[in-house]
Amino acid sequence: MAMMRLRREDPRVVGTFRLHRRLGAGGMGVVYLGSDKRGQRVALKVIRPDLAGDQEFRSRFAREVSAARRIRGGCTARLVAADLDADRPWFATQYVPGPSLHDKVNEAGPLSPAQVASIGAALSEGLLAVHDAGVVHRDLKPSNILLSPKGPRIIDFGIAWATGASTLTHVGTAVGSPGFLAPEQVRGAAVTPATDIFALGATLAYACTADSPFGQGSSEVMLYRVVHEEAQLAGVPDALAPLLASCLAKDPADRPSTLSLSLRLKEIAAREAHGPSGGPLENGSGAGAGWERAERRPSDRPTGQRAEEYARQRTERGTAGTSSPRPHPSRPPAPRDAAPRPAGPASAAGKNPRKTGGRTGRRAPASRPTGRNGSRTPVRTTSGGRRPGPDRRLLRQRVIVFVVVTLLVALGIAAAQGCQGPARGLGVERPAPVAPPSGGVDGPYGVGEQNP
């Protein structure tokens, strides 16, 4: 809703509300944007001075405000406060942010059948609450429907009237907007809920075609067409044309009831929501709620445990040479001339790469990622060869230890056997005495000589 600065003749304070901006002006008065001491914003309408001096108008206005207090429903602007005895009577309703249906269509063009049906279903529910309270709006039109983030809202019950009341003012002029008035309003007959059904049908036709179903022209020409000519629905989609034609019937008895209209519009909204013409509705709740919200695509980036698993898989692919994973945030970026460093849990644990030593220009090897069981994996060099990774070094150390241990054991066994051999050689074994032969023995006295 467009806002304008306050004019010099506009009041600054009305009742307990401070006025900030002009929201618009109509046949009954001016609508202001105001706020109370708690900061609650309201739409406050002040009655015109010439109407404020009319006692008949004051009495009717008091009845209308009393009827508006009885309305309960989420599709209407709630009445906040009113002063019927002020020099210029006023009333304040809840302020509804959002453009009017008139401004929306005027700026963006006709709405899709799914959107029109969704908005119409929500408005029908709002009118059902209004009619249950015994009130007829009598001035339902695109500029009195606000498209809030929570759904459409019906505003401006300034000329609302009790069911069965006359529609003529004291000067014999029909109250309402030409092109959206029902024929009984123009004739001055009693108003009924069917009067609002006619206005709703004309409003939805405007949303489909960006024009009134009775065309354009002066007030007299428009009122004549409403009474004597049929509505022009050539631009209305086929899904809505028969239903809107029944709403615009000249005889109130031929129009659908408020409840029947709400149910039928919900069916059309559900059918058109997945059809080729309207596409899926942008609202995710009740009819008409959140109609202007853009559908947001969920992020495809994994989080939590999925992010850790994703990083680990990228690390394994990086070590196999299929991809180059991003470095871990905890490690500073590598120089441009250095080999890419795959990220992994080892780098996240804070292990620093080995420092360079010896020859000038020798780079420190990149930190090596670890697998699931904590073992390190070999790293490819920039030349395409494979350097012995930590696993080969560990295996080589184990082989050396095994060989050393084997040699020590062998030496121990050999030493034990060597100790037993010399012990036998040191002992002197005396040969057993041998008996001399019968022929004598060799002695110092000659062969065969016997001892004396």
Which CATH architecture describes the domain 1-95?
2-Layer Sandwich (3.30)
Identify the pLDDT of residue 318. Answer: 54
- C-alpha pair distances (Å), 236 with each of 203, 204, 302, 404: 12, 9, 46, 97
- C-alpha pair distances (Å), 173 with each of 9, 25, 186, 216, 227: 28, 19, 8, 20, 15
Amino acid 364 reads A
- Top-confidence range, 29-38, 295-304, 409-418, 428-437: 29-38
Catalytic residue status for 139: yes
Contacts 24+ apart (CB under 8 A), 248-256: 248/198, 248/201, 248/202, 248/205, 248/213, 249/198, 250/183, 252/182, 252/184, 252/192, 252/194, 252/195, 252/198, 253/194, 255/194, 255/197, 255/198, 255/201, 256/197
Tokens of 311: 């990083």
Domains 1-95 and 98-290 alike in fold = no
**pLDDT at position 126 over 60:** yes
Prediction pTM value: 0.58
User: Per residue in 268-283, pLDDT tens?
Assistant: 999 988 765 444 444 4
Top CATH class of 98-290 equals mainly alpha
- Alpha-carbon gap, residue 104 to 147, rounded angstroms: 8
* Extents of the domains making up the chain: 1-95, 98-290
**pLDDT at position 152 over 90:** yes
Q: Which helix (H) or strand (E) holds 18?
A: strand 17-25
- The one catalytic residue in 10, 85, 132, 139 is 139
Identify the pLDDT of residue 230. Answer: 93
Helix ranges restricted to H, 274-389: 305-319, 345-348
User: Per residue in 60-118, pLDDT tens?
Assistant: 778 778 877 878 766 888 888 999 889 999 989 889 888 999 999 999 999 999 999 99
Query: In degrees rounded to 5, what are phi and psi of residue 129?
Result: -70, -35
The answer to which of 43-52, 185-194, 338-347, 390-399 has the lowest mean pLDDT is 338-347
User: Per residue in 357-396, pLDDT tens?
Assistant: 444 444 444 445 444 444 454 445 444 455 545 577 888 8
Across the range 222-243, mean pLDDT stands at: 94
Identify the pLDDT of residue 54. Answer: 86
User: Per residue in 309-345, pLDDT tens?
Assistant: 656 665 665 555 444 444 444 444 444 444 445 444 4
Residues in the chain: 452
- Top-confidence range, 42-51, 157-166, 306-315, 356-365: 42-51
Task: Determine the distance from the C-alpha atom of residue 23 to the mean position of all C-alpha atoms in its chain, rounded to a whole number.
Answer: 32
- Alpha-carbon gap, residue 361 to 406, rounded angstroms: 42
Query: In degrees rounded to 5, what are phi and psi of residue 24?
Result: 160, 175
203 burial via Cβ count (<10 Å: 0-12, 13-18, 19+): buried
